[in-house]
A and B are shown apart, each in its own frame.
Chain A
Amino acid sequence: MSARVAVIGVGQTRHAARRKDVSVSGLVREAVDRALADAELKLSDIDAIVLGKAPDMFEGINRPEAYLVDALGAAGKPIMRVHTAGSVGGSTGIVASHLISASQHRRVLAVAYEKQSESDAMWALSPKYPFQPPMAAGAGGYFAPLIRAYIRRSGAPPHIGTLVAVKDRQNGVRNPYAHLKLEGIDRAMVEASPMLWDPIRYLETCPSSDGACAVILADEAAAALSPRRPAWVHGTAMRTEPMLFAGRDQVSPRAGRDAAKALYAEARITDPVRELQVAELYVPFSWFEPMWLENLGFCAPNEGWKMTESGQTARTGTMPINPSGGVMCSNPIGASGLLRFAEAAQQVRGLAGDLQIDGVRKALGHAYGGGSQFFAMWIVGAEKP
């Protein structure tokens, strides 16, 4: 009873450490205007808006969807504000797609942003909870022990993280919107960079970025009127597990495995590595590439690092991961998940420019958040599902 959903417009900002040239609304409109231009639509053609971003503390604006109504042309329309921690960009795309698949609207704008320069994300990521030890270490301090557990469990050699960092940064050089573009990046540069949270070195971590992403989703009739090739949504999945639960496997969380399983079932995928031609995964620290390869069932447990080491995940490999450079090159937190979804869509539309992988028919976008406990994913395809 679900209606088909298509991506007909994609836009993103130039990402940078400080976008002092724009306000929050200016940043958001930069992405929205590019998505509208891609779809050859006006704001007045949009029926409903879903806004996503990570914690309001990042900019100090309380529930900014109210303020952004004017910049988004949302007066007289429904607007919703999604917040599912780091996975929020992905959830924003999924909630927007549901408004169409549930036959409520014809054209929905999904937009997500973060303007990290207007606050201090490290502070906001290190909350002090009553009756719990303080974790004044940001996201890296939380995730480094999980990476160490992965290395111990899988027997991965120590250079795997370096390989991911070099690959993603080389990919980022090709991305006109990327925040970090490190020409001439190599293993020696990564290995010479300071250790932040063992085993995560400076060049193995994501930046703090200002940026936004916008995606216009449409029903079948609206997609037929679209000037450029649409990407069709073949499946979506969201899964959440509790943070404080001794039975959790935080290295390969069950919520991620369950989400992938549900996603493949909906998209009728039986062998993801053969049937998908590219994936954009939420990899904020280099080592998360092999971890997510396993969690998504792209390979057997403890084998993810072998896929990375063999070069399969390079843009010339059999399963390119993050040809955009991914979160390692641009991390406007709330938008990072929607960027993954959007880059996957551009690949199947054949509109990825210098990032384009040849012959992409189906692609996966992935986001995660919290203490590796929130997952949002979609699969888009060149053909109707």
Chain B
Amino acid sequence: MNRPVAIVSFAQRPAVRRESRFDETEMVQDVVSRALDAAHATIADVGFVCSGSSDFLVGRPFSFVTVIDALGAWPPVSESHVEMDGAFALYEAWVRLQHGDVDVALVYAFGRSSMGDLRSVSTAQLDPYLVAGLGLDSISLAALQARALLEAGTDTEANWAKIAMDRRRAAAENANAQLRTSPDVETLLREPYLTSPLRKHDCPPISDGAAAMVLVGGDRAFDYTVRPVWIRGIDHRAEPHTLGLRTLTDSTSTRLAAERAGAYNGPPPDVLEFHAPFTSQDALLQRVLPIGPNTAVNPSGGALAAHPLMVAGLTRVGEAASRLVRGDGLRAVAHATSGPLLQQNLVAVLEVDP
């Protein structure tokens, strides 16, 4: 039986194409101080800190080390870091809170995708001996998967264009999103291919951003908020890296993580926030994750409207939680992805008390 753990606050910076005024430490200081303030907490209340980021985005090793300076970590803190999306830092913090000896955890993530050449950064994530040398990157990989989906007959380019339009128009309501308008489907489909069969609108924007979240275990959550968002289940699973060993037209690891997190038990969620950088992946995840007639799907606009790498997954959890706090429903499912072509997926089930 897991200890109940609640999200008690969440803060994010608006995603921007290039954050040129602040460095990573300053961006994290902003979101951490706002998340702590919203919980009426200080770093002294925090029993465990976990963060997510990537050295390759920044282009230098140990990029998370100087960011520690943003925490005011004195006296020293119990702290860990994952070289992954912040959603996986959230998972590590949730595990830490299960022990019951600490009650409050701080999670943060930062990513400045603008710092280098994202396509070559994504190539460097592939098998270095057999695949990376072929020069595949995030967009050409996504195009391979999109082609497989077209040939399977489950998707059309028009379907993807509608997803692009819907997500970015939904983001008009989200001040933290980066792309908040969209032409109509007919206009989008007249655009040339970027990498066939994907057009520019099928791809995520390049974004810089940061986010932070405060988690509290047990009834002490009510000391920090009047409306805790309870994490009812959380799980993550991986798929093979070798593309030939995977079914690109499905997301078996998402389904497994969702099953284990309890996402298919009970009624469909009121809010579903999933982390699909490409329209084709958005369509695919809609077929895998639980959606009912009244489910708000990616009401924030999702990763197609703002995609700060290493932050976008944690932001899905934060957006889902924020909507429950706002009264948009009682139950939400949030999803985050890591690795090429949805290789690894995390699913969390969130609920607020009626």
* A interface residues, Cβ below 8 angstroms from B: 1-2, 23-24, 54-70, 74-85, 91, 94-95, 98-99, 101-104, 124-125, 127-130, 237-245, 247, 253-255, 258-259, 262, 370-371, 373-374
On whether A238 and B80 interact (CB within 8 A), knowing A76-B256, A80-B88, the answer reads yes
Cβ–Cβ contact A63 & B240, under 8 A: no
Chain B residues positioned under 8 Å from A127 (CB to CB): 60-62
CB distance from A2 to the nearest CB of B (A): 5
Chain B residues positioned under 8 Å from A253 (CB to CB): 76
**Can you report 28 residue pairs joining A to B where beta carbons are below 8 Å apart?**
A2-B100, A57-B55, A57-B61, A60-B124, A63-B338, A64-B125, A66-B339, A66-B343, A67-B127, A69-B238, A69-B239, A69-B241, A77-B237, A79-B238, A80-B91, A81-B83, A91-B80, A101-B99, A102-B96, A102-B99, A125-B61, A238-B79, A241-B73, A241-B77, A242-B72, A259-B76, A370-B65, A373-B68
Cβ–Cβ contact B66 & A67, under 8 A: no
Cα A106 to Cα B256 with chains together (Å): 18
Q: Chain B, 254-267, contact with A by CB distance < 8 Å: what is the 0/1 string?
A: 00100000000000
- Cβ of B327 within 8 Å of any chain A Cβ, yes or no, is no
By beta carbon, the residue of chain B nearest A83 is: B83
* B interface residues, Cβ below 8 angstroms from A: 2-3, 23, 49, 54-56, 60-62, 64-66, 68-69, 71-84, 88, 91-92, 95-96, 98-101, 121-122, 124-129, 235-242, 245, 252-253, 256, 338-340, 343-344
Cβ–Cβ contact A69 & B240, under 8 A: yes
Cα A125 to Cα B61 with chains together (Å): 7
- 9 closest A-B pairs by beta carbon, nearest first, are A55-B61, A102-B98, A255-B76, A66-B339, A240-B79, A62-B124, A241-B76, A62-B56, A83-B83
Cα A378 to Cα B55 with chains together (Å): 27
Q: Which of A98, A239, A240 contacts B99 (CB 8 A)?
A: A98
Cα A242 to Cα B340 with chains together (Å): 33
Majority secondary structure, A binding face: loop
Chain B residues positioned under 8 Å from A239 (CB to CB): 76-79
Chain B residues positioned under 8 Å from A55 (CB to CB): 55, 61-62
By beta carbon, the residue of chain A nearest B123 is: A62
Chain B residues positioned under 8 Å from A78 (CB to CB): 235-238
On whether A70 and B241 interact (CB within 8 A), knowing A63-B339, A99-B95, A124-B61, the answer reads yes
Cβ–Cβ contact A62 & B74, under 8 A: no
Cβ–Cβ contact A258 & B76, under 8 A: yes
By beta carbon, the residue of chain A nearest B97 is: A102
Cβ–Cβ contact B84 & A81, under 8 A: yes
19 more A-B residue pairs beyond the given contacts A101-B99, A242-B68, A242-B71, with a C-beta to C-beta distance below 8 A = A2-B99, A60-B124, A63-B84, A66-B338, A75-B245, A78-B236, A81-B82, A81-B84, A82-B82, A83-B82, A84-B79, A85-B65, A99-B95, A102-B95, A102-B98, A104-B98, A239-B79, A243-B65, A262-B78
On whether A60 and B80 interact (CB within 8 A), knowing A78-B236, A242-B68, the answer reads no
CB distance from A77 to the nearest CB of B (A): 6
Chain B residues positioned under 8 Å from A247 (CB to CB): 74
Q: Which of B76, B83, B91, B236 contacts A56 (CB 8 A)?
A: B83
By beta carbon, the residue of chain A nearest B65 is: A370
By beta carbon, the residue of chain A nearest B96 is: A98
Cβ–Cβ contact B256 & A67, under 8 A: no
